[in-house]
Chains A and B, each alone.
Chain A
Amino acid sequence: GAVVSQHPSRVICKSGTSVKIECRSLDFQATTMFWYRQFPKQSLMLMATSNEGSKATYEQGVEKDKFLINHASLTLSTLTVTSAHPEDSSFYICSARPPLAAGELFFGEGSRLTVL
């Protein structure tokens, strides 16, 4: 099956700094990738849709200046949490759909961000 990889899997940073999380599709090209956030013992919340070569589409209530998304190539999308604060601590998960995959999304392993 298709593989989606995230890096880093864990990151700890100080309040006020920015953190970048990468999402790569390893064996397929993805024009669209999705970024989710998951709070402890809660469901995945879609943050934004990352579109290759164009601006990301953010869900209602998600600050686009806070969560910068760049999809510069067909195999890489990045999420940058700017000026991170403790309330940004969470599990961030990306997903992508290979062409002709009939709606199935493949998920990365997730990145746990802890802001001190």
Chain B
Amino acid sequence: AQRVTQPEKLLSVFKGAPVELKCNYSYSGSPELFWYVQYSRQRLQLLLRHISRESIKGFTADLNKGETSFHLKKPFAQEEDSAMYYCALSDSGGSNYKLTFGKGTLLTVNP
């Protein structure tokens, strides 16, 4: 069974500080990993996916198959980054892209 673990429920940093949101997964096949974000009073939306290898809003995430991790990083946090972040895993072998979510990490960036 696939599982996504986000060990931190809450993470608080000061503006300008580096931030890392941890995500570990367990999956027997070849997974696709995503980070979704939910800003206050807004719907869930995609932040980035590992296959794109892109940086969105200054965030990056590298898939480490050896450590089964997909941590989200940003070198200098901004107040507008405050949101709920969910790591998610999709069965790449399936055509439905059913997502399994972690429990989420609430990031607060203080001024």
Tell me the A residues contacting B by CB distance below 8 Å. 32, 34, 42-44, 46, 49, 93, 95, 97, 102-110
Contact = CB atoms under 8 A, between A and B. Distances in A.
Contacts, number: 47
Q: Which of B44, B49, B51, B86 has the most CB of A within 10 A?
A: B44
Given A49-B96, A93-B44, A103 B101 contact: no
Interface size class on chain B is 20 to 34
Contact of B97 (A42, A93, A105, A110): A105
B81 interface: no
Given A103-B34, A107-B44, A110-B43, 10 more contacts: A32-B96, A42-B104, A43-B101, A46-B99, A93-B43, A95-B44, A102-B51, A103-B92, A108-B43, A109-B43
Interface of B: 32, 34, 43-46, 49, 51, 86, 90, 92, 96-104
